[in-house]
Structure 1
Amino acid sequence: MARSLQPLVEAELEQSQKDTIITPKVVRAWKDAGLYKAQLPEHLGGDGADNVTYIQIVEEVARQDASAGWVFAVNTSGTRIAGALMERDAFLELLGPNSDGTAGGFANGKPPGTARKVEGGYIVKTEPMPFGSGTEHLTRAATLLFLVDQNEEKVIGEDGNPVVLTGWADVKHVEWLKNWNASGLASTGSGHYLIKEHFLEDKWIATADPSKISPEPIFQQGFWVPTFLTHVGVALGVAKRAIEEVAKVTKGRRRGAVPNLDEYPLFQYEFVRIESEYQAARAFSVQSCQAAWDAAVGGTFTDFHVARLDQANAHLHRVLNDIVSTVRLWSGSAVIPKDAVLARLVADAQVALNHLVADPQQFAKLSPELLARWRDDSLAKSF
């Protein structure tokens, strides 16, 4: 179904770039096609898709346009995170009668806002916060909030640290500052947004009671698995489209003294090399996604499943960098026009590669656990 929407996504590209956010027409088409609820369990109105099926959908949407893939992925993964943190009744209300309600936003790092307890809920407000990818198309926008007392002083918890809450505000209380003017992923609407002061009911604050959280495997993989699935799917889509485009533009193309690039042994070597890298990195990613899902289904999910997916994602982005750099080199003048597919792919890849979860520090963070595993003869070295 995602593949059938490519003509619409491409027809809306120009308007999306002007608006710096994917158009409502594209989002409506995704919802009408059932893509927004593909991962929801069937009894919640979805198709019950597993991790691998989900990244295949994201890969296809991102292959059409990386910004579209990013918005689709953050909207759907954000909804999945909400289902893992939100009381079940509130989550069902979020989904709505068509099961296509969405949640998301930047709820990481230092809390940008405050929540003051009042009867039935909280008075909440935030400063402008960055990375509001796709929030303009959400039902509810997420944020972190310092709990404050009646004097607006931070409430300190038993651990000696300020109490931090996660909340989801109705987007009618959100203001977007429209300050996203990026060199790549330009249509993701990833600029700053703020939540205006308003009353937020208790039910829209993350629960601390596990018995109230949705029990299905999709919601039992925590915060980071949906985050990594977003990045894996988009990176795979960009890599796939880049390889497709260089295969097409080099057919019978002259470059300098080479009359037909696609018959030139050096190009042929480079093409097979990056195609192999794509296939291998994709297989690692798929394996890690499937292992996490199977473990969630079987009740054996651990932090190591998160670590493997983290590793697969970071590795995939190193591969993406190599693929896009190689494609740019061999595409010659085809990459120069600003509105060309190849120019957009190069720009989008560079911005995606700059994301924190694709940073080389991810490898360093994972090193101690992986070193320990390889030193222990009793532990399996792969899933």
Structure 2
Amino acid sequence: MTTTTGAPPTTRAESQAEQIAKWVEVTRSLQPLVESEREESYRDASVTSRVVQAWKDAGLYRAQLPVELGGDGIDNVVLINIIEEIARQDASAGWTFGVSASGTTIAGVLLDKDSYLEIIGPDGDGLACGFANGMPPGTAKKVDGGYLVKTDPMPFGSATLHTTRVISLLFLVDDHDEKVLDGDGNPVVLMAYIDVKNVEWLNDWYASGLASTGSGHLKILEHVLEDKWFAHPETRIPGTPFAQEFWTPSILSHVGVALGLAKRALEEAAKATKNKRRGAVADLDKDAHFLYEFGRIEAAYQAARAFCLKAYQDAWDAAEAGTFNQSHINRIDQSNYYLTSLLNDIVSTAALWCGSGVVPRDGVVARIVADARVVMNHLVSDPQQLIKVTPSILDIWRDETKVNKC
């Protein structure tokens, strides 16, 4: 679907490079706090509220808000750099920040302006996110005052413990609790934003990786939800972040976390091999095998990073120009899959050269390996995503008027 109305380009006092440098410096200044809170975060299976509040106080959550809404108006590339830096510090923290930041942008895509502004609040740092894919876990029935909603337990409540509203898919049902069908005979599915006072978290997240993301099951308690908290994308508020449809911000956090994990893995391998002997190799720094392998995986990181950032820059530019369409989403899917497909090689190779540094269960390297495995297993990084978008990419390569633009 092509977006026919885009926001006028924002005149920025700072260049993109200056914004990246500024926001990465702010993000990196919070690394000591993220690291000092890690043990409690791991014990409670959720990043602590102190860390989330520090991100809010630093302005990270409102950074991508349009300037007219009190934000800094940063683009996709700057936001990916922020998520990458947080994930470099700790992948669970990066995931928590990323899905709540991108999830709140999605609320601006789906809700009308008044509802969205109510979520983000006067300081622009209120949050909304949740798992809005797969089989709807609950139902919504039209009643006086809105809809009667309730759900069974639903999985993957990443970062929802820190939100203002939780998103959920719901089957629309009639007065007899039968599913309402559309003109094609398919069940009507609604997307709703639930006040956290009507959410119950089951605290059952005991994961091998991304262990501090609070991604366990939750359920929506039975209550009446006002109409304004259901998705009405036709009333979308103006602004480039909101002109990129639902899927674009959804994938952005995955890209940032994968990049952060790859970057930290390379850092750890570089440090672990400095002036080190390993077996018969007196100096790993000068070992041809190590130099070849490190150069190879570092190139993979740089290539995947460049591909992802270009896909997201193109999407942003198109949204500003009012020409955003499905082809931009396809490139984002493709670049995300490419990055994730390289992540195992980058992380496992780096871990190998870290030697005994991978052994401590609570060490940095072991945590990177475990976190990367969970990231790689996520549905949005599955090979089916690449299969889905490749036919449209083939069409580009078969069109002489388009192939030179690939």
Please, what TM-score do these two structures have when normalized by structure 2?
0.92
Q: Does 1:322 pair with 2:345?
A: yes
Three-state SS of the structure 2 residue aligned to 1:165 is: strand
Distance in 1 (CA, whole Å) between partners of 2:111 and 2:70 is 18
Instruction: Provide the residue aligned with 1:283 in structure 2.
Output: 306
Distance in 2 (CA, whole Å) between partners of 1:107 and 1:362 is 17
Q: Does 1:166 pair with 2:203?
A: no
Instruction: Provide the residue aligned with 2:295 in structure 1.
Output: 272
Q: Alpha-carbon deviation of 1:380?
A: 3.3
Instruction: Provide the residue aligned with 1:97 in structure 2.
Output: 122
Instruction: Provide the residue aligned with 2:320 in structure 1.
Output: 297
1:90-114 residue CA offsets vs partner (Å, 9 max, x unmatched): 1111111111111110111111011
Q: Alpha-carbon deviation of 1:171?
A: 0.7
Deviant stretches of 4+, over 2 Å: 380-383
Instruction: Provide the residue aligned with 2:400 in structure 1.
Output: 377
Three-state SS of the structure 2 residue aligned to 1:378 is: coil
Q: Alpha-carbon deviation of 1:158?
A: 2.2
Instruction: Provide the residue aligned with 1:338 in structure 2.
Output: 361
Q: Report the residue type matching 2:156 in the other structure.
A: F
Q: Alpha-carbon deviation of 1:361?
A: 2.0
1:113-167 residue CA offsets vs partner (Å, 9 max, x unmatched): 1111112211110000011111101100000011112221111222221211100
Q: 1:360 to 1:125 in 2, by over 3 A?
A: same
* 2:133 equivalent among 94, 104, 108: 108
Three-state SS of the structure 2 residue aligned to 1:344 is: helix
* 2:281 equivalent among 258, 261, 268: 258
Three-state SS of the structure 2 residue aligned to 1:99 is: coil
Q: Alpha-carbon deviation of 1:364?
A: 1.6
**Aligned residues of 1:373 and 1:381 also touching (Cα < 8 A):** no
* 1:16 equivalent among 32, 41, 61: 41
In structure 2, list runs of 5 or more residues that go unmatched.
1-25
* 1:219 equivalent among 232, 242, 255: 242
Distance in 2 (CA, whole Å) between partners of 1:381 and 1:201 is 50
Q: Report the residue type matching 2:397 in the other structure.
A: W
Q: Does 1:244 pair with 2:275?
A: no
Q: Report the residue type matching 2:101 in the other structure.
A: T
Three-state SS of the structure 1 residue aligned to 2:61 is: helix
RMSD of aligned alpha carbons = 1.0
Q: Alpha-carbon deviation of 1:327?
A: 0.7
Q: Alpha-carbon deviation of 1:381?
A: 4.8
Q: Alpha-carbon deviation of 1:331?
A: 1.1
* 2:391 equivalent among 368, 373, 382: 368
Distance in 1 (CA, whole Å) between partners of 2:32 and 2:148 is 44
Distance in 1 (CA, whole Å) between partners of 2:352 and 2:226 is 54
Q: 1:351 to 1:381 in 2, by over 3 A?
A: farther
In structure 1, list runs of 5 or more residues that go unmatched.
none
Q: Alpha-carbon deviation of 1:19?
A: 0.4
Q: Alpha-carbon deviation of 1:255?
A: 1.3
Distance in 2 (CA, whole Å) between partners of 1:86 and 1:361 is 30
Distance in 2 (CA, whole Å) between partners of 1:381 and 1:70 is 36
Instruction: Provide the residue aligned with 1:124 in structure 2.
Output: 149
Q: Report the residue type matching 2:297 in the other structure.
A: I
Q: Does 1:7 pair with 2:32?
A: yes
Distance in 2 (CA, whole Å) between partners of 1:214 and 1:252 is 56
Distance in 1 (CA, whole Å) between partners of 2:309 and 2:245 is 18
* 2:113 equivalent among 77, 88, 94: 88
Identity of aligned residues (%): 61
Instruction: Provide the residue aligned with 1:50 in structure 2.
Output: 75
Q: Alpha-carbon deviation of 1:382?
A: 4.2
Q: Report the residue type matching 1:180 in the other structure.
A: W
Q: Report the residue type matching 2:110 in the other structure.
A: L
**Aligned residues of 2:140 and 2:172 also touching (Cα < 8 A):** yes
Distance in 2 (CA, whole Å) between partners of 1:329 and 1:223 is 38
Distance in 2 (CA, whole Å) between partners of 1:341 and 1:152 is 50
Q: 1:60 to 1:147 in 2, by over 3 A?
A: same
Three-state SS of the structure 1 residue aligned to 2:275 is: coil
Q: Does 1:306 pair with 2:307?
A: no
Three-state SS of the structure 2 residue aligned to 1:267 is: helix
Distance in 1 (CA, whole Å) between partners of 2:346 and 2:153 is 36
The one of the two structures with greater contact order (alpha-carbon pairs below 8 A, sep at least 6) is 2
**Aligned residues of 2:272 and 2:353 also touching (Cα < 8 A):** no
Instruction: Provide the residue aligned with 1:70 in structure 2.
Output: 95
Q: Does 1:35 pair with 2:89?
A: no
**Aligned residues of 1:103 and 1:140 also touching (Cα < 8 A):** yes
Aligned length in residues: 381
